[in-house]
């Protein structure tokens, strides 16, 4: 290379032996004068005076003119595009999923997934990336796979040290283009113990992002099915769906994007999609894009599917500039919504309803521990606060030989309502076994009842005996009878929350301080799933600075407390938190406290009396603003939902933490609206674990929604009294006292008259 560095006409003619001399000449010229235009000290194809025929172009062309630009893919790894996976996508939103990992727990766990396929012929096998706890006994533990109802086979669970790929061949004709239903049934046995504790210690994890069909990007033909397949892969990778070029939509941008994101969200089961709205000119993301949406102006409003330059499947949405949102091409034809958008089935109060009527099939249990939940809905104006009973009539049978202590526990909205022993009368189909429970455990909207089975090990310190069949069966003919109620409403955000739609989002001039414009689109897409079928409610997106405009009804909320609730999580050094061990430093205030002496005892006694008096008064007539602020002091979360003014039953106000991920909030919203356990009451905090923590005002009063009649008086009055029983007791007590005083006065005055 030094020869090339020294390259010049002299060097070219005389060869390498003169290289140093040429370098010296160059140095001399540099020192002598900066004007070196005449000095032929350059790498050139040929010199002006040289004989071209005597020049070997190979000696100089490498330096300036040729291969310095080259980067040829000369190895197979670079030439072959990296395959990606069309992933298994869960049919439901669940806490079983953390990131891209789905956890199967217990002895048996079945789960339904969707597998999007562009071209069925492209895939010959299904990949499952699995890892199990070491507690799993591989000889008796397996994962069984069904695709579109066809048995595909099973794999043994034996990956204990890390995720391992396992494969099942896909026979021809099993897959179809579009959506494919995949069911995974996991059976696990503990290698040492038996019983509920052993069952809780069993798990197998499936890496969803890496489980599914291996896709060769070079063989993906653009289509709606291929796009959905890539969309699932993009979502599974944890990346947001990029939507490019939306600025050109102009004034109709929000409406177009709301419709677009809502339909994309409806087309995918599982966790809601996150979106990233970008310009056209972007930097390559860290992980390769699999799918995106590109919005482009065109001669007509239409959709088309193409492969991007980076191999991503692209949905191109072309629009005629200036076109209104109504002109948007029909997305639902190309990207049909999934059935998972449906809400839980509605049951009719006042009538005995078979479990089968709201989708519960006959349940069979073979596990030592199992919990199966079923959701149903009650009418939104249903309300029972009295001690009135609802009745479950259970048809069930259990096997002989179950150890003592085997029980079936029934839960209604996480309240245990009955524990049934599973020994003593085996092999006898018990029909219409009545289980009465207080109807006030039920609420309007979504309710969840659960069967939980616990069968101790026999013995518990040995592995469970070999394979056995079902030990308990609960028939779908079992019934639930929920008492009728007058049409009443207890102020609660649950109803408004279930009625939210993408059109429900309301912003104001200060919203931008807490929400990006795109946040409302992400929320809107989430709200497009599982929406109620009646007049939409409103969700106001608020900045904390705008708290003054939130109607608080009879309540008050301290802004400082809300700031604390929504404060970003700080991850300080161990010991920084409020629960840190007391410091060894001397306390300078110790002497002040000690100096109080005997007076402190008196003050302490007075404080105690006043404190308990305050509690008593709160019990008699709750001052809810104090309770709300006390409750808020103990909360921390990523979003707060307020619904404090009962005169605005269809309005919710939402605040968010500055570090909250809108995608996480959207996922929690979807989960709450599909499986219940969402925001309730007057204030709800979505904590950082995705759990809704609700505050129900103790003084809220039911509102009658129908005319008072003799028929509904008893039930309605019962609800009113049950809402604040102590208050009514004291009112009656007060009236009694007044009556007694009047009577006494009457007696005394009569006697005075007599005298």
Partner 1 sequence: MNRRHCLSLLTGAAAAALGAPGARAALGALDLASEAAPVWEAWKTAHLTSDGRVVDTFQEDGSHSEGQGYGMVLAAIFEDAPAFRRMFDWTELNLARRGDGLLSWRWLPGRSDPVPDRNNASDGDLFYGWALVRAGRSFAEPRYMTRAIEIAEALAATCIVTDPSDPDRTVLLPAVHGFAHDGRLTLNPSYYMPLAMRELADATGVQAIATCAAHGQALIDRVAAQGLVPDWIELDEDGWRPARLFPPQSGYEAIRVPLFQIWSGNAGAAAVRAMAAAHARAGDEPRLVPVVFEPDTGAVLERSPDPGYRALAGLVHCARSASVGAAIPAFDPDQPYYPATLQMFAMIAANEVLSECVPI
By CB under 8 A, the residues from 192 to 221 that bind partner 1 are 217-218
Task: Give dist(CA 157, CA 719) in Å, integer.
Answer: 54
Measured from the CB atom, is 174 or 220 closer to partner 1? 220
**Separation of CA 622 from chain center:** 35
Task: Give dist(CA 167, CA 607) in Å, integer.
Answer: 70
Measured from the CB atom, is 148 or 301 closer to partner 1? 301
CB of 57 to partner 1, least distance (A): 4
Pattern 382-411, partner 1, x by CB under 8 A:
------------------------------
CB of 236 to partner 1, least distance (A): 20
Phi/psi class of residue 575: alpha, beta or left (left: φ > 0; alpha: ψ in -120 to 50)? left
Helix (H), strand (E) at residue 375? strand 369-378
CB of 282 to partner 1, least distance (A): 5
Work out whether 47 is an interface residue with partner 1 (CB under 8 A): yes
Question: Strand, helix or coil at 668?
Answer: helix
Query: Could you say which of 121, 296, 613, 731 contacts partner 1 (CB under 8 A)?
Result: 296
79: CB partners within 8 A, 6+ apart:
73
232: CB partners within 8 A, 6+ apart:
86, 87, 89, 114, 116, 268
Strand partners for 90:
113
Measured from the CB atom, is 72 or 581 closer to partner 1? 72
Measured from the CB atom, is 318 or 699 closer to partner 1? 318
Measured from the CB atom, is 31 or 711 closer to partner 1? 31
By CB under 8 A, the residues from 248 to 267 that bind partner 1 are 248, 250
Pattern 3-22, partner 1, x by CB under 8 A:
--xxxxx-------------
Work out whether 306 is an interface residue with partner 1 (CB under 8 A): yes
Edge-to-edge strands, sheet with 505-506: 505-506, 538-541, 651-656, 639-642, 683-686, 692-695
Question: Strand, helix or coil at 256?
Answer: helix
- From the list 136-144, 289-297, 515-523, 739-747, the region that binds partner 1 by CB under 8 A is 289-297
Helix (H), strand (E) at residue 275? strand 275-278
- From the list 62-70, 102-110, 261-269, 371-379, the region that binds partner 1 by CB under 8 A is 62-70
Measured from the CB atom, is 44 or 176 closer to partner 1? 44
Work out whether 39 is an interface residue with partner 1 (CB under 8 A): yes
Query: Could you say which of 14, 21, 28, 61 contacts partner 1 (CB under 8 A)?
Result: 61
Strand partners for 421:
407
Query: Could you say which of 97, 114, 294, 501 contacts partner 1 (CB under 8 A)?
Result: 294
Question: Strand, helix or coil at 89?
Answer: strand
By CB under 8 A, the residues from 319 to 358 that bind partner 1 are 320-321
Q: Smallest Cα–Cα separation from 526: which of 373, 285, 340?
A: 340
CB of 123 to partner 1, least distance (A): 18
CA distance readout (Å), 471 to 335, 355, 370, 396, 422:
43, 20, 12, 11, 9
Question: Strand, helix or coil at 690?
Answer: coil
CB of 59 to partner 1, least distance (A): 11
Q: Smallest Cα–Cα separation from 349: which of 478, 446, 481, 253?
A: 481
Query: Could you say which of 14, 16, 28, 65 contacts partner 1 (CB under 8 A)?
Result: 65
Cis amide bond preceding 575, omega within 30: no
Measured from the CB atom, is 297 or 336 closer to partner 1? 297
- From the list 124-132, 260-268, 284-292, 577-585, the region that binds partner 1 by CB under 8 A is 284-292
Phi/psi class of residue 500: alpha, beta or left (left: φ > 0; alpha: ψ in -120 to 50)? beta
Work out whether 31 is an interface residue with partner 1 (CB under 8 A): no
Task: Give dist(CA 76, CA 70) in Å, integer.
Answer: 17
Q: Please identify which residue in the block is written with the tokens 């356990």.
A: 677
- From the list 44-52, 408-416, 522-530, 600-608, the region that binds partner 1 by CB under 8 A is 44-52
Work out whether 76 is an interface residue with partner 1 (CB under 8 A): no
Residue 547 has what DSSP assignment? G
Q: Please identify which residue in the block is written with the tokens 């005995």.
A: 352
CB of 28 to partner 1, least distance (A): 11
Q: Smallest Cα–Cα separation from 292: which of 341, 215, 222?
A: 222
CB of 43 to partner 1, least distance (A): 5
Measured from the CB atom, is 72 or 573 closer to partner 1? 72
Work out whether 282 is an interface residue with partner 1 (CB under 8 A): yes
Work out whether 450 is an interface residue with partner 1 (CB under 8 A): no
Phi/psi class of residue 215: alpha, beta or left (left: φ > 0; alpha: ψ in -120 to 50)? beta
308: CB partners within 8 A, 6+ apart:
289, 292, 294, 314
CB of 224 to partner 1, least distance (A): 16
- From the list 288-296, 361-369, 443-451, 688-696, the region that binds partner 1 by CB under 8 A is 288-296
Measured from the CB atom, is 283 or 339 closer to partner 1? 283
Burial 623-661 (b: 16+ CB within 10 A, else e): ebbebbbebbeebebbbbbbbbbbebbebbbbbbbeebe
Work out whether 309 is an interface residue with partner 1 (CB under 8 A): yes
CB of 84 to partner 1, least distance (A): 12
CB of 12 to partner 1, least distance (A): 10
Contact indicator for 226, 100 with CB cutoff of 8 Å: no
Work out whether 36 is an interface residue with partner 1 (CB under 8 A): yes
CB of 79 to partner 1, least distance (A): 6
CB of 70 to partner 1, least distance (A): 7
Measured from the CB atom, is 220 or 543 closer to partner 1? 220
Query: Could you say which of 17, 299, 465, 581 contacts partner 1 (CB under 8 A)?
Result: 299
Q: Is the dihedral of CA 559, 560, 564, 568 positive or negative?
A: positive
Measured from the CB atom, is 79 or 134 closer to partner 1? 79
CB of 128 to partner 1, least distance (A): 26
CB of 316 to partner 1, least distance (A): 6
Work out whether 243 is an interface residue with partner 1 (CB under 8 A): no
Question: Strand, helix or coil at 451?
Answer: strand
Q: Report residue 119 as tokens.
A: 């071209």
Work out whether 78 is an interface residue with partner 1 (CB under 8 A): yes
Work out whether 509 is an interface residue with partner 1 (CB under 8 A): no
Measured from the CB atom, is 280 or 688 closer to partner 1? 280
Residues in the interface with partner 1 (CB under 8 A) total 73
Task: Give dist(CA 513, CA 544) in Å, integer.
Answer: 9
């Amino acid at each position: 290379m030094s020869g090339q560095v020294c390259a010049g006409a002299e060097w070219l003619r005389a060869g390498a032996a003169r290289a140093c001399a040429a370098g010296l000449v160059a140095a001399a010229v540099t020192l002598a004068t900066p004007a070196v235009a005449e000095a032929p000290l350059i790498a050139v194809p040929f010199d002006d005076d040289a004989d071209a025929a005597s020049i070997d172009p190979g000696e100089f062309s490498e330096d300036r003119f040729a291969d310095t630009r080259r980067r040829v893919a000369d190895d197979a790894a670079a030439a072959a595009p990296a395959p990606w996976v069309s992933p298994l996508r869960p049919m439901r939103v669940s806490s079983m999923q953390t990131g891209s990992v789905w956890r199967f727990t217990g002895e048996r766990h079945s789960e339904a997934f969707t597998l999007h396929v562009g071209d069925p012929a492209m895939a010959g096998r299904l990949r499952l990336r699995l890892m199990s706890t070491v507690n799993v006994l591989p000889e008796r533990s397996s994962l069984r796979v069904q695709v579109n109802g066809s048995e595909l086979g099973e794999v043994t669970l034996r990956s204990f040290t890390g995720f391992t790929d396992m494969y099942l061949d896909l026979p021809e004709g099993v897959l179809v283009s579009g959506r494919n239903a995949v069911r995974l049934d996991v059976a696990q046995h503990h290698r040492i113990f038996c019983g509920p504790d052993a069952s809780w210690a069993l798990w197998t994890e499936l890496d969803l992002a890496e489980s599914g069909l291996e896709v060769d990007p070079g063989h993906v033909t653009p289509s709606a099915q291929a796009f959905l397949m890539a969309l699932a892969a993009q979502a599974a990778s944890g990346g947001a769906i990029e939507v490019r070029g939306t600025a050109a939509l102009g004034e109709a941008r929000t409406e177009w994007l709301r419709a677009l994101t809502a339909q994309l969200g409806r087309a995918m089961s599982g966790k809601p999609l996150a979106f990233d709205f970008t310009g056209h000119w972007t930097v390559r993301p860290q992980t390769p894009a699999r799918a995106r949406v590109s919005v482009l102006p065109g001669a007509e409003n239409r959709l088309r599917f193409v492969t991007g330059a980076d191999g991503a499947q692209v949905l191109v949405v072309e629009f005629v500039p200036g076109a209104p949102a109504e002109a948007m091409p029909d997305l639902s034809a190309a990207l049909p919504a999934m059935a998972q958008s449906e809400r839980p089935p509605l049951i009719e109060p006042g009538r005995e309803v078979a479990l089968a009527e709201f989708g519960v099939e006959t349940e069979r249990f073979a596990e030592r521990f199992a919990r199966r939940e079923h959701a149903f809905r009650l009418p939104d104006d249903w309300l029972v606060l009295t001690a009135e009973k609802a009745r479950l009539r259970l048809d069930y049978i259990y096997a002989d030989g179950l150890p003592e202590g085997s029980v079936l526990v029934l839960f209604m909205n996480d309240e245990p309502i009955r524990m049934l022993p599973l020994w003593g009368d085996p092999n006898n189909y018990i029909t219409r076994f009545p289980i009465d429970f207080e109807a006030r455990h039920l609420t309007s909207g979504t309710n969840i009842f659960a069967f939980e089975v616990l069968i101790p090990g026999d013995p518990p310190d040995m592995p469970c005996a070999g394979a056995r069949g079902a030990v308990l069966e609960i028939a779908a003919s079992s019934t639930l009878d929920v008492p009728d109620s007058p049409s009443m409403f207890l102020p609660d955000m649950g109803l408004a929350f279930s009625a939210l739609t993408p059109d429900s989002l309301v912003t104001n001039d200060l919203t931008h301080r807490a929400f990006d414009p795109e946040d409302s689109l992400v929320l809107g897409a989430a709200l497009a799933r599982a929406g109620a079928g009646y007049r939409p409610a409103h969700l106001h997106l608020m900045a904390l600075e705008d708290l003054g405009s939130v109607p608080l009804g009879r309540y008050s909320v301290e802004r400082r407390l809300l700031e604390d609730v929504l404060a970003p999580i700080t991850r300080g050094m161990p010991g920084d938190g409020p629960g840190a061990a007391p410091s060894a430093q001397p306390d300078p205030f110790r002497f002040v406290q000690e100096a109080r002496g005997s007076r402190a005892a008196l003050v302490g006694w007075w404080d105690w009396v006043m404190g308990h008096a305050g509690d008593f008064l709160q019990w008699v007539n709750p001052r809810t603003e104090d309770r709300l602020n006390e409750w808020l002091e103990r909360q921390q979360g990523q979003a707060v939902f307020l619904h404090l003014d009962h005169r605005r039953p269809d309005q919710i106000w939402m605040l968010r933490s500055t570090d909250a991920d809108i995608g996480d909030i959207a996922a929690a919203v979807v989960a709450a609206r599909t499986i219940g356990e969402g925001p309730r009451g007057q204030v709800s905090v979505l904590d950082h674990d995705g759990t809704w923590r609700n505050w129900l005002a103790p003084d809220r009063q039911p509102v009658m929604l129908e005319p008072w009649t003799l028929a509904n008086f008893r039930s309605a009055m019962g609800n009113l009294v049950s809402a604040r029983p102590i208050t009514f007791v004291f009112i009656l007590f007060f009236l009694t006292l007044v009556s007694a005083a009047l009577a006494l006065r009457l007696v005394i005055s009569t006697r005075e008259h007599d005298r």
